[in-house]
């Protein structure tokens, strides 16, 4: 289950970017997963919940956005969204295409609740 190690990586990266005070106030981590990546969003979600439990960031929720697979055609230059099973350019039907987006995972942002000053 590589989703658990990915979840741990997300938590580690978030921890490196936030002070201990900020970690305790972290409410949301937004990540984007390419549709063509091998990551299963549901498994990443449950992996994150297991990995974050008991850490300074245990109040944080993981928000996953799945982004479509986009390829650029080397024949006509068109960039298109395709289904992972269909590696042909929908514009000219060439199968000489390069994946330009959709096979990655990236942390989009970290959301922190501002402390209320009394």
Contacts of 79 (CB under 8 A, 6+ apart): 70, 71, 72, 73, 100
Distance CA 105, CA 115 (A): 30
Instruction: Choose between 38 and 74: whose C-beta lies nearer to Zn ion.
Output: 74
Distance CA 43, CA 65 (A): 14
Instruction: Choose between 79 and 107: whose C-beta lies nearer to Zn ion.
Output: 79
Instruction: Choose between 74 and 113: whose C-beta lies nearer to Zn ion.
Output: 74
89 known member of a binding site: yes
Q: How far is the CB of 58 from Zn ion (least distance, A)?
A: 48
Residue whose entry in the numeric block shows the structure tokens 């969003």: 41
Residues making up the chain, counted from first to last: 118
93 known member of a binding site: no
Binding site residues, Zn ion, CB under 5 A? 73, 75-76, 78, 89, 91-92, 94
92 known member of a binding site: yes
Contact criterion met (CB below 8 Å) for 50 and 56: no
Q: How far is the CB of 17 from Zn ion (least distance, A)?
A: 40
Which residues make up each annotated binding site for Ni(2+)?
Answer: 2
Which residues make up each annotated binding site for Zn(2+)?
Answer: 73, 76, 89, 92
């Amino acid at each position: 289950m590589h989703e658990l190690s990915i979840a741990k990586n997300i938590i580690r990266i978030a921890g490196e970017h936030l002070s201990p005070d900020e970690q305790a106030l972290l409410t949301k981590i937004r990540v984007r997963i390419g549709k063509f990546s091998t990551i299963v969003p549901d498994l990443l979600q449950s992996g994150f919940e297991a990995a974050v439990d008991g850490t300074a960031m245990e109040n944080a929720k993981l928000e996953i956005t799945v982004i479509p697979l986009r390829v650029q055609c080397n024949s006509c230059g068109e960039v298109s969204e395709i289904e992972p099973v269909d590696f042909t350019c929908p514009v000219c039907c060439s199968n000489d295409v390069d994946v330009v987006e959709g096979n990655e995972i990236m942390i989009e942002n970290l959301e922190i609740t501002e402390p209320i000053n009394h």
